[in-house]
Amino acid sequence: MDFGMIVVDLLNGLTRGFLYFLIVSGLAITLGTMGIINFAHGSFYMLGAYLAWTTAMAMSNVTGSFWMGVIAGAVALFGLGLLVERWLLRRIYAAEHLYQLLATFGLVLFLDGIVLEIWGGLPKVISLPEYLTGNLSVAGRAWPVYSLFILLFSSVIIAGLWFLLYRTRLGYECRAAAMDREMSRALGINVTVVFMLMFAVGAAVAALAGGAGTGLMALSPGLGGSIIILCFAIIVIGGLGSLGGAFVGAILIGVLESFSWHHFPDSAMYLPFAIMAIVLLLRPQGLFGKE
């Protein structure tokens, strides 16, 4: 095992980690502001990826079809996010967390069923534009351009999310509502609309990750379930309610996965959960969680 290989493994791990964080961030925002654990967030990712695939296939002879797909998926999921918030979540904000989990689990099943009905059970592969297919040379080793693209794409979207939360009126209002719903209402913030928009933004971000990231994870029904379980593990590792913790958790999982796929492929699949168990043993509240 030489230096170049370690660097490439590390870079691939960072790529995965950034993509994971992109998915987890939407989940964390919903959890942090609305207090909803959205089991269906992984399904939003999956659906976004499928919609991107279909759009890209339909427009395959047009330049930029890949991007059209990514954007179409995000727009569609933004719309679906609005609908789900309006017709499902709003009815159960007051209910126990466990019922929210059960309701969104119902959504997971339903969306799985939809995907199976429309796209069938066979895995799908998205065709990347030519400028994303080559290899770069890093420390004497080949590293796919696509990985660099995911790294940059995720960073841009994450920066955009940060901007939305901390530099726009919607972000201020959303954080205010997260701290104190009643007081925010009294100050004239339309909390209902703010929550609806933020939930839709979270869904759209998941779809962006799905559309752009399909090159990293094969697209098949049931992907939503495995993604969301991984996201939960990342949140538990980072600490419930800590976005920085989620970032560290995502990078940690991404990098360790990348190394173990390469060197111990049999253990890579359960590695995230083994790390989760170890973190729980040593630090039950998660790496960055408060007591």
Q: Tell me, by CB under 8 A, how many residues bind another protein.
A: 43
Q: Rule CB under 8 A: is residue 114 a binding residue for another protein?
A: yes
Residue by residue, DSSP assigns 140-195 as TEEEEHHHHHHHHHHHHHHHHHHHHHHHSHHHHHHHHHHH-HHHHHHTT--HHHHH
How far apart, in Å, do the first and last CA atoms of the chain sit?
41
Residues 252-271 that bind another protein (CB under 8 A): 266-267, 269-270
Tell me the C-alpha distance between 213 and 259, whole Å: 19
Q: Which is nearer to another protein, 10 or 92 (CB)?
A: 92
- Residue indicated by tokens 């420390």: 139
Least distance in angstroms from the C-beta of 120 to another protein: 10
Least distance in angstroms from the C-beta of 216 to another protein: 18
Q: Rule CB under 8 A: is residue 243 a binding residue for another protein?
A: no
203, 28 in Cβ contact below 8 A? no
User: What token pair was written down for 291?
Assistant: 């007591």
Least distance in angstroms from the C-beta of 246 to another protein: 13
Binds another protein (CB under 8 A): choice among 216, 226, 261, 262: 226
Q: Rule CB under 8 A: is residue 235 a binding residue for another protein?
A: yes
Binds another protein (CB under 8 A): choice among 22, 111, 126, 243: 111
CA torsion sign, 63 to 66 to 69 to 75?
negative
Q: Rule CB under 8 A: is residue 37 a binding residue for another protein?
A: yes
User: What token pair was written down for 108?
Assistant: 């997971």
Q: Rule CB under 8 A: is residue 83 a binding residue for another protein?
A: no
Stretch that binds another protein, among 14-22, 191-199, 200-208, 274-282 (CB under 8 A): 274-282
Strand-pair partners of 226? none
x/- binding map, residues 178-217, to another protein, per CB under 8 A? ----------------------------------------
Q: Which is nearer to another protein, 103 or 194 (CB)?
A: 103
177, 33 in Cβ contact below 8 A? yes
Tell me the C-alpha distance between 41 and 23, whole Å: 8
Q: Rule CB under 8 A: is residue 274 a binding residue for another protein?
A: yes
46: enclosing H helix or E strand: helix 41-58
Q: Rule CB under 8 A: is residue 101 a binding residue for another protein?
A: yes
Residue of 210, 158, 227, 202 lying closest to 31 (CA atoms):
202
Q: Which residues fall within 8 angstroms of residue 186, CB to CB, at 6 or more apart?
A: none
Residues 48-67 that bind another protein (CB under 8 A): none
Q: Which is nearer to another protein, 121 or 188 (CB)?
A: 121
The type of residue at 110 is: F
**Binding region for another protein (CB under 8 A):** 37, 88, 91-92, 97-99, 101-103, 105-114, 116-117, 225-226, 229, 232-233, 235-236, 240, 266-267, 269-270, 272-274, 276-277, 280-281, 284-285
